[in-house]
């Protein structure tokens, strides 16, 4: 996180996070009431006494704007919020920096009260007494484990007082679906942050393209990206940057290595930054020498056309998977036209889609939710509509709820690609070509706004940029 909340203008964050807590309290009331308990992420040791750079839990950040470790939020269905946090500590602050501390927290964060984290168990035992149910994150991750352990300790303490008339909560409920739904639709504040994250990442891609020439290495372009992220004030990459020379582009989760960028090959960069907690996620594929070859250009233009079809399918009322199927249709037709798929083997475009013959060259989805997490939270299915039979994407059929209908404020990536591994039945000119084009789209009332188009995407524009 950049600009920790107590270094920036703290009061400017309050109403936003207070408003989110009030909305969550209303959701708790609708769902039978109770008390929510949500810790932030623990610090992680890298080795010896060195820690990984700290990153708060995304939902905790969403509800509080507070990015110090060892913090907890307790929120009841009346909207009363309690923060538990590290105490001020003159000795530790010499080493680790300033802490907000419980005295300053109510004014800085707009919480109703704050205590030292050492008082967590006592605070929880008090707040859970006579609460109808407890809401906490469920799961096999550190945040969920911490929450579960603290809640069970508190339930034990409440139960020990039962003879004085208090009742422990009757149910534990998973709070994740409530938070995930809230986070799925971005408010105006989040949209502005995501626009900025997109702009920084786009500038970083421009910088890397301009720095590219035969003989440079993957890590050198990664360094250009890092320079652009950090010098714009972003916390750093939102995920490990992919800088893939030539055939490495066909390894979907390749990380930037030391391979030389060679004349005549492509370079694929998938990189985004984190700005105020929010991720951007961009992929561009460009020729190392600044000019696409014929076969590279044929595949590039096909992926770009597929992306355009997916962008047009990204609008309110459309389903999340409409973009995927629009891209798959374009790609499959193109693969047939270019003879990468042979009609005598896979049949018509409809047959090839039905059998998922395209998966040989396009094996991932066309997008994911984007927000505080690069693969952001939010249900992908429209569960209030009845299940129906549909393609499972692997060549079979499955019965499940239809995919989610898009509404304004959702943000998702649109990232079709093609990855051609050598094979006897594949024309050699296409061997080892991997191409992905990825932009971030905010669903608007009329369609979608691309947040990441400050970096060129059309082949001629990329070539012109690299010539310049």
Q: Which residues are catalytic?
A: 49, 253, 270, 281, 364, 368, 375, 415, 419, 436, 438
Among 57, 220, 222, 281, binds ligand GLY (CB under 6 A): 281
Q: Which helix (H) or strand (E) holds 215?
A: none
Q: Which helix (H) or strand (E) holds 64?
A: helix 58-64
Nearest approach, Cβ of 357 to ligand GLY (angstroms)?
Answer: 24
Work out whether 54 is an interface residue with ligand GLY (CB under 6 A).
Answer: no
Rounded to the nearest 10 degrees, how much is the dihedral formed by the CA atoms of 143, 146, 149, 152?
Answer: -60
Cα–Cα distances in angstroms (integers) from residue 451 to residues 198, 236, 412, 436, in the given order: 5, 18, 10, 17
Please check whether residue 65 is in contact with residue 16, taking contact to mean a CB–CB distance below 8 angstroms: yes
Cα dihedral: 287, 289, 293, 295 (round 10): -40
H or E element at residue 449? strand 448-450
**Whether 413 contacts 238, CB under 8 Å:** no
439 makes contact with Mn ion (CB under 5 A) = no
From the CA atom positions of the chain, what is the Rg in Å?
25
Contact stretch for Mn ion (CB under 5 A) within 194-202, 279-287, 351-359, 442-450: 279-287
Rounded CA separation 358/362 (Å): 6
Least distance in Å: CB of 411 to ligand GLY?
13
**Which residues, numbered 350-389, are part of the site for ligand GLY (CB under 6 A)?**
368, 374
Cα separation of 1 and 277, whole Å? 6
Per CB under 6 A, contacts with ligand GLY among 204-263 are 239
- Quick note: the x/- pattern for Mn ion over 230-269, rule CB under 5 A, is ----------------------------------------
Under rule CB under 6 A, residue 323 binds ligand GLY: no
Closest CB to ligand GLY among residues 72, 254: 254
Q: Give the residue from 235, 125, 251, 194 showing the smallest Cα distance to 370.
A: 194
Stretch that binds Mn ion, among 11-19, 273-281, 319-327, 448-456 (CB under 5 A): 273-281
User: What CA–CA distance (Å, rounded) separates 406 from 319?
Assistant: 6
Instruction: Scan residues 382-421 and list those touching Mn ion (CB under 5 A).
Output: 413
Pick the closer one to ligand GLY by CB: 220 or 373: 373
Annotate each residue in 280-309 with x if it binds Mn ion (CB under 5 A) or - if it does not, as one string. Answer: -x----------------------------
**DSSP states of 156-194:** HHHHTTGGGT----SEEEE-HHHHHHHHHB--HHHHHHH
Q: Give the nearer residue to ligand GLY in terms of CB position, either 80 or 364.
A: 364
Binding-residue total with ligand GLY (CB under 6 A): 7
Smaller CB separation from Mn ion, 220 or 438: 438
Interacting residues with Mn ion between 101 and 130 (CB under 5 A): none
Binding region for Mn ion (CB under 5 A)? 270, 281, 413, 438
Binding region for ligand GLY (CB under 6 A)? 239, 270, 281, 368, 374, 415, 438
């Amino acid at each position: 996180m950049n600009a920790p909340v107590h270094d920036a203008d703290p009061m400017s964050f309050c109403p936003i996070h207070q408003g989110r807590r009030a909305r969550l309290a209303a959701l708790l009331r609708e769902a039978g009431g109770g008390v929510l308990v949500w810790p932030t992420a623990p610090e992680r040791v890298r080795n010896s006494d060195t820690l990984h750079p700290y990153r708060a839990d995304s939902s905790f950040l969403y509800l509080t704007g507070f990015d110090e470790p060892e913090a907890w939020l307790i929120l009841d269905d009346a909207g009363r919020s309690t923060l538990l946090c590290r105490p001020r500590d003159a000795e530790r602050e010499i080493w680790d920096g300033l802490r907000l501390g419980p005295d300053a927290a109510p004014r800085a964060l707009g919480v109703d009260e704050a205590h030292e984290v050492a008082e967590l168990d006592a605070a929880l035992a008090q707040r859970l007494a006579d609460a109808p149910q407890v809401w906490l994150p469920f799961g096999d991750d550190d945040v969920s484990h911490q929450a579960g352990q603290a809640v069970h300790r508190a339930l034990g303490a409440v139960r020990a007082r039962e003879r004085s008339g208090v009742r422990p909560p009757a149910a534990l409920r998973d709070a994740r679906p409530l938070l995930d739904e809230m986070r799925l639709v971005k408010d105006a504040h989040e949209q502005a942050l995501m626009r900025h994250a997109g702009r920084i990442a786009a500038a970083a891609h421009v910088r890397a393209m301009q720095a590219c020439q035969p003989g440079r290495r993957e890590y050198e372009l990664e360094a250009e990206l890092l320079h652009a992220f950090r010098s714009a004030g972003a916390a750093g990459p939102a995920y490990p940057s992919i800088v893939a020379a030539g055939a490495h582009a066909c390894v979907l989760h390749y990380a930037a290595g030391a391979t030389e960028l060679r004349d005549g090959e492509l370079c694929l960069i998938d990189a985004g930054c984190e700005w105020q907690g929010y991720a951007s996620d961009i992929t561009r594929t460009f020729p190392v020498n600044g000019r696409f070859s014929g076969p590279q250009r044929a595949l590039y233009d096909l992926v770009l056309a597929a992306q355009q079809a997916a962008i047009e399918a990204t609008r309110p009322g459309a389903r999340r998977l409409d973009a995927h199927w629009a891209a798959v249709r374009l790609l499959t037709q193109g693969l047939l036209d270019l003879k990468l798929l042979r009609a005598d083997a896979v049949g018509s475009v409809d047959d090839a889609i039905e059998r998922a013959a395209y998966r040989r060259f396009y094996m991932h989805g066309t997008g994911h939710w984007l927000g505080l997490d690069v693969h952001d939270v939010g249900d992908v299915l429209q569960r209030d509509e009845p299940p129906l039979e549909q393609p499972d994407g692997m060549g079979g059929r499955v019965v499940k709820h239809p995919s989610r209908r898009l509404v304004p404020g959702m943000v998702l990536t649109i990232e079709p690609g093609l990855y051609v591994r050598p094979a006897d039945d594949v024309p050699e000119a296409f061997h080892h070509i991997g191409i992905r084009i990825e932009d971030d789209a905010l669903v608007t009332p009329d369609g979608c706004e691309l947040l990441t188009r400050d970096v060129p995407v059309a082949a001629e524009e990329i070539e012109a940029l690299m010539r310049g």
